[in-house]
Amino acid sequence: SQTIHQWPATLVQPVGSPLSLECTVEGTSNPNLYWYRQAAGRGLQLLFYSVGIGQISSEVPQNLSASRPQDRQFILSSKKLLLSDSGFYLCAWDRQGAEKLFFGSGTQLSVL
Amino acid sequence: SQQGEEDPQALSIQEGENATMNCSYKTSINNLQWYRQNSGRGLVHLILIRSNEREKHSGRLRVTLDTSKKSSSLLITASRAADTASYFCATDSSGGSNYKLTFGKGTLLTVNP
């Protein structure tokens, strides 16, 4: 069966520090991969999605970047975190033509 | 901007009662999905209803879709304390791809034992 792993679960970082969140999917090949951010009391905002290795689409201009160095690995990064980067970050995957997303357990990022 | 907007923002009921949550959207859709999120966790897909369907059932869940009113409702019957969670609707307006899935802000459901 397919599983998605996302870590760390919580992270507290100072303003201006770098960020690296990792997400991996097991049990499937060539998944579509997504990074979402969820601000408190709000819905999910799509940040990036990827349909293959090295293929990244950005939905909103921001301080973050994403990379997909391997088929089932998706990384969210920042060179210098801002206070506004705080939030709950969710990785998700699906297959082409699938009708639902599978989410990881999320990372709560606090930038202080 | 948000495509789906859930109503109410918060709902508190007693165990055994039914819970109804509504979702309104603005543009034409291909399908509408409902997800559940326990506090501090990822979302879990509950049910999908296509634009040519009016009602769908899954266990204690019943979803309706009214494309003329651009609205959907999620009914949870005989609620349990374990149903306590946030519920989100998500609309697909892109032709069957999740790339453009748009989520609402959610309804926080509290089921009191």
Option in B44, B88, B96 nearest A43 (CB)? B88
B98 vs A32, A90, A105: nearest CB: A32
For residue B97, name the pLDDT band (cuts at 50, 70, 90): low
Judge whether residue B1 has pLDDT over 50: no
Q: Which residues of B touch A106 (CB under 8 A)?
A: 40-42
**Which stretches does DSSP call E strand in chain B?**
5-7, 10-14, 19-24, 31-37, 43-50, 55-58, 61-66, 71-76, 85-92, 101-103, 107-112
Chain B residues touching A34 at Cβ < 8 A: 98
Collapsed DSSP state (helix, strand, coil) of residue A29:
coil
Is A101 close to B44, i.e. CB distance below 8 A?
no
Residue labelled with tokens 């997400």: A23
Which residues, 6 or more positions from B68, have their beta carbon under 8 angstroms from its beta carbon? Answer: none
Compute the average pLDDT of residues A46-61. Answer: 89
pLDDT at A82 over 90: yes
* Cβ neighbours of B43 (radius 10 Å): 29
* Residue A87 main-chain phi, psi, to 5 deg: 160, -175
- Does an H or E element contain B44, and which? strand B43-50
Distance of alpha carbon B36 from alpha carbon B32, whole angstroms: 14
pLDDT of residue B3: 65
What percentage of chain A exceeds 70 in pLDDT? 99
Question: Do B19 and B63 meet the contact criterion of CB atoms below 8 Å apart?
Answer: no
- Per-residue pLDDT, A66: 96
CB pairs under 8 A between A and B: 54
**Strand A107-111 to strand A10-13: parallel, antiparallel, or no bridges (unpaired)?**
parallel
User: How far apart (Å, rounded) are the C-alpha atoms in residues A100 and B92?
Assistant: 10
CB contact under 8 A, B98 and A101: yes
Q: Considering only the beta carbons, identify the residue of A46, A49, A100 that sits closest to B45.
A: A100
pLDDT tens-digit readout, B27-85: 888 899 999 999 999 999 999 999 999 999 999 999 999 999 999 999 999 999 999 99
